[in-house]
C-alpha cells in the first residue's frame, strides 16, 4: 500500500470547517483512500473512503485531487467531540488488503 503523509497536528475553532490534508503521491490505480479517526482509548472509527470521485456522508466530505496524489477530509462544522487523531490510509482492493497501515496521523484539536 502507498505511503501517506499528514501534518502532525492542526487546530480548528468550534463550528468552523476542519480541512485535513493527506499526501499519497505513490498511490496506485486500484488503491482506495480511507479515513479513520481515533479518540483516546477507543478503537479507530471509520469515517469515509473514496477511489477517484469526491465523496460525502453524514460525517464528512472527501475531496480527492484529479491526479489522486492528495486528498482532503472536510468536517464541515467541527465540534469539541471531533478532537481526535485522524488517519489517512491508502489501501488496495485485493490480496493483502486486510493489512491496514496506520501512520502517526493528524491530531486535530477543536477549540471552543
Partner 1 sequence: DVKVTQSSRYLVKRTGEKVFLECVQDMDHENMFWYRQDPGLGLRLIYFSYDVKMKEKGDIPEGYSVSREKKERFSLILESASTNQTSMYLCASSSGYSGNTIYFGEGSWLTVV
Q: Which of 9, 26, 103, 111 binds partner 1 (CB under 8 A)?
A: 103
Q: Are 32 and 50 in contact (CB under 8 A)?
A: yes
Contact flag: residue 17 with partner 1 (CB under 8 A)? no
Residues in the chain: 112
Minimum gap (Å) between residue 105 Cβ and partner 1:
9
Minimum gap (Å) between residue 10 Cβ and partner 1:
20
Size of the site for partner 1 (CB under 8 A): 21
What DSSP designation does 28 have? Answer: -
Cα angle 46, 21, 84; round to 5: 45
Q: Note the maximum CA span of the chain.
A: 44
Minimum gap (Å) between residue 90 Cβ and partner 1:
12
What's the CA gap between 97 and 85, in Å, rounded? 22
Q: What residues make contact with partner 1 under the rule CB under 8 A?
A: 32, 34, 36, 41-46, 49, 51, 93-94, 97-104
Amino acid at each position: 500500500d502507498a505511503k501517506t503523509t499528514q501534518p502532525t497536528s492542526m487546530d480548528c475553532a468550534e463550528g468552523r470547517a476542519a480541512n485535513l490534508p493527506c499526501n499519497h503521491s505513490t498511490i496506485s490505480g486500484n488503491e482506495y483512500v480511507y479515513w479513520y479517526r481515533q479518540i483516546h482509548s477507543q478503537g479507530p472509527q471509520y469515517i469515509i473512503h473514496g477511489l477517484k470521485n469526491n465523496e460525502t456522508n453524514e460525517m464528512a466530505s472527501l475531496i480527492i485531487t484529479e491526479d489522486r496524489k492528495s486528498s482532503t477530509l472536510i468536517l464541515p462544522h467541527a465540534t469539541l467531540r471531533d478532537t481526535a487523531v485522524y488517519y489517512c490510509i491508502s489501501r488496495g482492493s485485493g490480496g493483502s488488503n486486510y493489512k491496514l497501515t496506520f501512520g502517526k496521523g493528524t491530531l486535530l484539536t477543536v477549540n471552543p
